[in-house]
Structure 1
Amino acid sequence: MNEERILKVLLAPHISEKAALLADTREQYVFKVVSTATKPEVKQAVESLFDVKVQSVNMINIKGKRKVFKGRQGQRNGVRKAVVRLASGQEIDFAAAE
């Protein structure tokens, strides 16, 4: 995989209470990724950008909700998330990564 694709796979870390709990207890981190991303691409991107060893990657597809605004139906955008488990003893510090 080329360097350009690696930089475009990860969109942002997903920050929530559940994601923070996973990071603290299970050494798992949640990222928003592009809809075409695969597990090997996410693994390679996290390992190269954050200099850590990835143990496993799980992917989640969240469908967009249907909403009605002023009588018109619409649909919010869906999102694809990756739950990345790191090798034991490793962690990602998002504040220091930038």
Structure 2
Amino acid sequence: MTAQDIVIRPIITEKSMAGIGMKKYTFEVAKDATKIDIARAVESLFGVKVRKVNTLHVRGHLRRQGRNEGYTPSWKKAVVTLTEDSKTIEFFEGMM
């Protein structure tokens, strides 16, 4: 898998934006990616140094539309913490 296949998109929420001051960035990642794969992908895509990666699986939620119901797809989230001497990710700087 390439780095673009591992890191799917950034997560932009109030909680994820609060972590930017502590150099914590949140991404949606491929379900079969490991922490090591995620760290290497973020380092190669953004040119930063990763200190640690925390991952969690997000379950799909039940959604209804009229009498029809189904589940949204499940996905994997990664919270990437950078080292203190690392530069910040420029994409998130425009959000603050």
Q: TM-score, normalised by structure 1?
A: 0.85
Secondary structure at the counterpart of residue 73 of structure 2? coil
- Paired residues, what number? 92
Q: Deviations over 1:48-80 (max 9, x none)?
A: 111111000000111011122221221111221
Q: Deviations over 1:19-39 (max 9, x none)?
A: 111012x21000111111110
Seq. identity, %: 33
Secondary structure at the counterpart of residue 2 of structure 2? helix
Letter in 1 for 2:89: I
Q: What's the counterpart of residue 12 of structure 2?
A: 15
Equivalent of 1:41 in 16, 37, 40: 37
Letter in 2 for 1:63: R
| Structure 2: gaps (5+ residues) | none
C-alpha RMSD of matched pairs (Å): 1.6
Q: What's the counterpart of residue 28 of structure 1?
A: 24
| Structure 1: gaps (5+ residues) | none
Secondary structure at the counterpart of residue 15 of structure 1? coil
Q: TM-score, normalised by structure 2?
A: 0.87
1:51 matched to 2:44? The reply is no
User: Which 4+ residue blocks in structure 1 deviate beyond 3 angstroms?
Assistant: none
Give distance in 2, aligned partners of 1:62 and 1:94.
24
